[in-house]
Amino acid sequence: MRKGANVMPRHPIDGVLLLNKPAGLTSNAALQKAKRLYNAAKAGHTGTLDPFASGLLPICLGQATKFSSYALHGDKAYRATLKLGVTTTTGDTEGIAVEIRPVEISLDAVKAMLPAFTGTLMQIPPMHSAIKHQGKALYEYARAGVEIERKPREITIYKLAAKGLDKDLLTLDVRCSGGTYIRTLAEDIGEALGCGAHLIGLERTDAGPYSVDHAHTFDELAIMTESERLSVLLPPDSLLASLPRLDIDAESALLLAQGKHIATPDNCPMGNLRAYMPRGFLGLVEAGTMLVPSRLMDTSELAGKSLPGSPTTD
């Protein structure tokens, strides 16, 4: 049989799947599984969750991948479980214990200390992370026993609340800026408490405009019909929900689709905008002295047209 003869064609699916990732699965493995489930031609996620972590993993399908960076860098929220009294080489359960200390702390003492970890902070990324150095992920160096100097990064902790303390297990709710490492936060809190700590559980509950309350597990998706699975996808423009909306007429949309810069409409907000034409979502545009196309939906059909009675100009 000719290779690939029975392979079904991939579907041009455009949307955002809110996946409730199970613990024990890498983000890339979850992405590939979702891509196969939808038989999608293109897919990408909006920010890695560690294998031991669970919770919300927005997956972009098709043209939604053009706007994934806005969810990648958006704010996040987590429910984190720390084991006090033990530090590990990785700051989580995947590492080896390096120090054990007694735990003599009350929940009130934890709550009194937490305000010191809210607001704008400088955080040094952990060695066991996917940040690249000279083309290699830091965790590759860490596994080889090589320590790479990392520059502190500015992060913001908007909310940090202690939800419970059961002997040596501390549960925290965290709302933070994108790029925050909860493992590092857990280690720093453990040191501030004088006993050390590492992360043993992590659930992402929010990412940008999305909540885990509206996410679906693989088990739930598996028993859906194809039409039901398609119905749970959110539109690509949901990724840009935090940006101001700009409505433009069909002629302006045509010029932008052709790569033209057009006059910025009166009373238009400056910066990145989500633009809509009469037929629906056009894409991301940037407003300044001129209105410039940035990342647009597939406009090949639109861009191939010309304005009746008027030539297009740059």
- pTM metric for this prediction: 0.86
From the list 237, 158, 171, 203, the residue with the least C-alpha distance to 57 is 203
Compute the C-alpha angle 20/25/26, nearest 5°: 100
Q: Are 16 and 64 within 8 A, CB to CB?
A: yes
Class of the domain covering 15-73+210-237:
alpha beta
Q: Are 143 and 135 within 8 A, CB to CB?
A: no
Q: Which two tokens stand for residue 239?
A: 């990724």
φ, ψ dihedrals at 212, nearest 5°: -65, -20
Kindly name the residue from 50, 92, 188, 237 that is annotated as catalytic. 50
Query: pLDDT tens digits, the chain, 314 residues: what are they?
Result: 344 444 444 567 899 999 999 999 999 999 999 999 999 989 998 878 888 999 999 999 999 999 988 877 789 999 999 999 999 988 999 889 999 999 999 999 999 999 999 999 999 877 666 676 667 766 676 676 767 777 889 999 999 999 999 999 999 999 999 889 999 999 999 999 999 999 999 999 999 899 999 999 999 999 999 999 999 999 999 999 999 999 999 999 999 999 999 999 999 999 999 999 999 999 999 999 999 999 999 887 665 555 444 443 33
The CATH number given to 76-205 is 3.30.2350.10
In sequence order, what are the residues at sequence separation of 6 or more whose Cβ sits closer than 8 angstroms to the Cβ of residue 291? 252, 256, 261, 262, 263, 264, 265, 268, 285
State the span(s) of the chain assigned CATH 3.30.2350.10.
Answer: 15-73+210-237, 76-205
188 is catalytic: no
State the span(s) of the chain assigned CATH 2.30.130.10.
Answer: 243-303
Q: Are 186 and 95 within 8 A, CB to CB?
A: no
Q: Tokens 């960076």 — which residue?
A: 69
Q: Are 221 and 33 within 8 A, CB to CB?
A: no
Question: What's the per-residue H, E or C state across the chain?
Answer: CCCCCCCCCCECCCEEEEEEECCCCCHHHHHHHHHHHHCECCEEECCCCCCCCEEEEEEEEHHHHHHCHHHHCCCEEEEEEEEECEEECCCECCCCEEEECCCCCCHHHHHHHHHHHCEEEEECCCCCCCCEECCEEHHHHHHCCCCCCCCCEEEEEEEEEEEEEECCEEEEEEEECCCCCHHHHHHHHHHHHCCCEEEEEEEEEEECCEEHHHCECHHHHHCCCHHHHHHCCECHHHHHCCCCEEECCHHHHHHHHCCCCEECCCCCCCEEEEEEECCEEEEEEEECCEEEEEEECCCHHHHCCCCCCCCCCC
Termini Cα distance of the chain:
53
The CATH number given to 243-303 is 2.30.130.10
pLDDT of 313 reads 36
pLDDT of 141 reads 67
